[in-house]
Chain A
Amino acid sequence: MTRVIRYIFNDILRTRFILFYTGFLLLSTFALFQLDSDFGKIVLSLLNIVLMVVPLVSVVFTTIHFFSSYEFIELMLAQPINRKVIFLSEYLAVASSLCMAYLIGVGIPFIMFSAGQNVISLLVIGVFLTLVFVSLAFLSSVLTRDKSKAIGIALLFWFYFSLIYDGFVLWIIYTFSDYPLEKVTLTLIAFNPVDLARIIMLLQLDISALMGYTGAFYKNFFGSNMGVLFSSSILFLWAIIPIYIALRIFHKKDL
């Protein structure tokens, strides 16, 4: 399996996209440091990048990569190797290369400018989001044989989680504003990895936004050890479940 991963990894590096991605992240992080001296503000701006760009790049890159290495996968399947091994190697290679690019791109400037506690959680959240969206992109790739359709589905995932879902949540809050919604919204948030990541970060940075009873409620929940365990395990599930379904489909799929 490690061998397969290594092959795929080399292949990914050869496309140079990962290098561009790393360079982009490095550049934007450095630029933010140049523009602003307030550490909290930099982390906040980076949070926007993490919540928008990281998922987008993850889904697009993964689907394109999957379809461009379709022939390679077919070739591998002709060998006496388990389908599961091939598929998981694909996943691990793509996910780890994206995670590495992210960690280098965002992490290095912060180490150079000496990082704080917030940055570590920013890095962890970025890695989680990468894992989640790579796994969603794999799912959309195995759902169809058509490359453009797969990219479409993957983009829809991204669009749904970054925008449509929030609109839906806002609509619920608006409609049922007469009722106590704390627990309901908390549950709703768990169904969106982007929201979950945002809230974890927000509670560390922008506490001032979370005021009143609601703010106190969320802070109590997410600030506690239980909350950290809950949110990270939910994010973990978000990475595991789509890739598991994709694996099941891939296992039976007629390529």
Chain B
Amino acid sequence: MKKAQLFFLITIVLSALNSQGKTIRVGSAESVSQIKQAIAMAQSGDTILVRAGIYREGNIILQKAIVLMGEGYPVLDGENEYETLTVHTKNAVIKGLKFINTGTGSIEDKAAIKILDSENLHILNNQFENTFFGIYLANSSHIWIENNELTSEAEAEHQIGNGIHLWKCHHITINENKIKGHRDGIYFEFVTNSLITNNYSEGNMRYGLHFMFSHNDEYRDNTFINNGAGVAVMYTKGVKMINNHFIHNWGSSSYGLLLKDISDSFVTGNEFVENSVGIHLEGGSRIQFRENEFTKNGYAFKLQASCDDNVIERNNFQQNTFDLVTNGSLVLNKIESNYWDRYEGYDLNRDQVGDVPYRPISMYGMIVERMPTAVLLWRSFLVFLLDRAEKAIPVITPENLKDNLPSMKAYDFNK
């Protein structure tokens, strides 16, 4: 009886292996020379292996559950006119292809890979050069976008689309992609329950990362560097931003991280270096800011009076021009146990906690916030005296905005 069972099992396994799809090779030396032709021939489960070469086939449409794989990065050229690949399927893999020169347009969002109403796809190891939109997803779920490299060189914001653009998706993983020179590096609208890790978004025209109405997403270990306006995220709840790097987002309206109407979120272990504004928080509720490093920013933290119940705890503020500014006198947030390099208090019982509360708000920071021209007097003797006087007897700055347990030493987060 046992033997019969085993035999039965082996038969099943073998037949399963047998039913595995066939491989169709595409290339100038092969019998099939066009990708379109190969897709037409393929059945679900097949693999199309595209040999190196240049393929100018206009808009390729993929509606089958197959593996489309490149060997030696075959080039799919959109000839500055077409969308190169449109995908509408379940269970497919697109791997190792190089997309160049897609068409542009202000009415139609032409993309190198456009994915519509799809499920369970893997977009792996592709390269994109001079594409309008790079990877464009709409109404899809369970998609992995990994190890792709997107580079574009547009001169103005309106001439270019987003690197990775998602609209109304859920359960998406975006891992280890490099995005350069697009409008927004990563753009999300109505994208939920997704994971964004280890991406590198540099030199994009507008935002390195931009999302709205995208709840319960997690961002880890990403780097946003030198983007036109940094990172802006809005109207979202349940965001986790952990161990990301926001570096050198510099300019008159540039932010390391702009948070508008965000609630119930975590911003932890991030690094903000050399941004005009490290974090700008507007209308934020119940967000935890912990163990972040703010270094060499213009304003490290702009905390608008419209925010409530946020916790700013155990962060390092070092070498910022202004550590914290606000625009009102109402303070509904908790600021505690941070390290401020400007703190001048003492610690008699040597428990590493300063004995006098620290007021991180510089009066002159508030004045400059209100009247930017006043920045001209920064570091003058007058301003020094004004700041001193204000520290002693707060008049303009909110009296109860203070860190009651300032740390004497910078925290070492060991990253």
Report, as a range, how many residues of chain B touch the other chain: 20 to 34
Could you tell me if A209 and B321 are in contact, using CB atoms closer than 8 angstroms? yes
B18 touches A (CB below 8 Å): no
B54 within 8 A of A: no
Interface status of A133 (Cβ within 8 A of chain B): no
- Is A214 in contact with B375, judged by CB distance below 8 angstroms? yes
| Given A170-B382, A208-B276, CB of A214 within 8 Å of CB of B376 | yes
CB-based contact B382/A206 at 8 Å: no
Q: Per-position contact with A for B367-381: 1 when CB-CB < 8 Å, else 0?
A: 010111111111111
Which chain B residues border A51 with CB–CB below 8 Å?
380-381
Q: Which residue of the partner chain, among A44, A47, A194, A214, contacts B372 with CB atoms under 8 Å?
A: A214
Q: Is A74 an interface residue (CB 8 A)?
A: no
Q: Flag if A177 contacts B276 (CB, 8 Å).
A: no
Contact with A along B129-158 (1 / 0, CB 8 A): 000000000000000000000000000000
- Can you list 18 contacts pairing A with B, beta carbon distance less than 8 Å? A163-B381, A166-B382, A169-B377, A170-B377, A173-B374, A174-B374, A177-B370, A181-B373, A195-B377, A199-B376, A209-B298, A209-B368, A210-B378, A211-B276, A211-B372, A214-B373, A215-B372, A216-B252
Q: Is A202 located at the chain interface by the 8 A CB criterion?
A: yes
Q: Taking the nearest CB of chain B, how far is it from the CB of A81, in angstroms?
A: 41
- Fill in one digit per residue for B319-359: 1 if any A CB lies within 8 Å of its CB, else 0: 11110000000000000000000000000000000000000
Answer yes or no: A71 CB below 8 A from chain B CBs. Answer: no
Check if A138 is an interface residue, CB within 8 A of chain B: no
- The answer on a CB contact under 8 Å between B381 and A215 is no
Asked whether, in the complex, the Cβ of A162 is within 8 Å of the Cβ of B381, the reply is: yes
Q: Do B379 and A198 touch (CB < 8 A)?
A: yes
Contact string against A for B residues 1-13, beta-carbon threshold 8 Å, 1 for contact and 0 otherwise: 0000000000000
A: which residues have CB within 8 A of B? 38, 40-41, 44, 47-48, 51-52, 162-163, 166-167, 169-170, 173-174, 177, 181-182, 185, 189, 194-195, 198-199, 202, 206, 208-216, 218
B252 near A211: Cβ-Cβ < 8 Å: yes
For A179, give the chain B residue with the smallest CB separation: B373
B380 to chain A: which residues have CB within 8 Å?
Answer: 51, 162, 166, 194-195, 198
Tell me if A38 and B298 are in contact (CB < 8 A): no
A35 to chain B, nearest CB (A): 13
Could you say which residues of chain B place their CB within 8 Å of the CB of A195?
376-377, 380
Q: CA of A163 to CA of B212 in the docked complex: distance in angstroms?
A: 48
Taking CB atoms, residues of chain B closer than 8 Å to A169 are: 376-377
Tell whether, in the assembled complex, residue B321 and residue A208 are in contact, meaning their CB atoms are under 8 Å apart.
yes
**Shortest Cβ distance from residue B285 to the other chain A in the assembled complex, whole angstroms:** 27
Chain B, 243-254, contact with A by CB distance < 8 Å: what is the 0/1 string? Answer: 000000001100
With A198-B380, A216-B252 as contacts: A210 and B373 at CB distance below 8 Å: no
Q: B296 an interface residue at 8 Å Cβ cutoff?
A: yes
Q: A170-B377, A174-B374 are in contact. List 11 more A-B contacts (CB 8 A).
A: A162-B381, A170-B374, A173-B376, A177-B370, A195-B380, A209-B298, A209-B321, A209-B379, A211-B299, A214-B373, A218-B376
In the complex, B297 has a CB within 8 A of chain A = yes
The residues of B that contact A216 with a CB separation of less than 8 Å are 251-252
Q: How far is the CA of A12 from the CA of B252 in the complex (A)?
A: 50
Q: Using known A-B contacts A208-B297, A209-B298, determine if residue A202 contacts B378 with beta carbons closer than 8 Å.
A: yes
Task: Decide: A44 and B379 in contact? CB cutoff 8 A.
Answer: yes
Q: Within the assembled complex, what's the spacing in Å between the Cα atoms of A115 and B379? A: 22
Cβ 8 A contact of B379, one of A47, A170, A218: A47
> Which 6 pairs from chain A and chain B are nearest by CB?
A166-B382, A208-B298, A214-B372, A212-B372, A208-B321, A177-B371
Residue among B252, B274, B296, B379 making CB contact with A213, cutoff 8 Å: B252
- Does B372 lie within 8 Å of A206, measured CB to CB? no
Contact bitstring B266-297, A, C-beta under 8 A = 1, else 0: 00000000101100000000000000000011
Chain A residue nearest to B274 (CB atoms) is A208
Bound complex: CA of A182 vs CA of B381, how far in Å? 21
Q: Which residues of B contact A185 (CB under 8 A)?
A: 373, 376
- Contact, CB under 8 Å: B371 / A173: yes
- Give chain B nearest CB distance to A50 CB in angstroms: 11
A210 touches B370 (CB 8 A): no
Q: Are B375 and A215 in contact (CB under 8 A)?
A: yes
A211 touches B381 (CB 8 A): no
Q: Which residues of B contact A213 (CB under 8 A)?
A: 252, 372
B residues within 8 A CB of A41?
Answer: 319
Contact for B319 among A38, A48, A198, A199, CB less than 8 A: A38
CB-based contact A166/B319 at 8 Å: no
A39 to B: closest C-beta gap in Å: 12
Interface of chain B residues 382 through 399 with chain A (CB within 8 A): 382-383, 385
Q: How far is the CB of B379 from chain A (nearest CB, A)?
A: 6
* Bound complex: CA A194 to CA B321 (Å): 21
- Distance from A210 Cβ to chain B, minimum over Cβ atoms (Å): 6
Instruction: Kindly report which residue of chain A lies nearest to residue B371, judged by CB atoms.
Output: A177
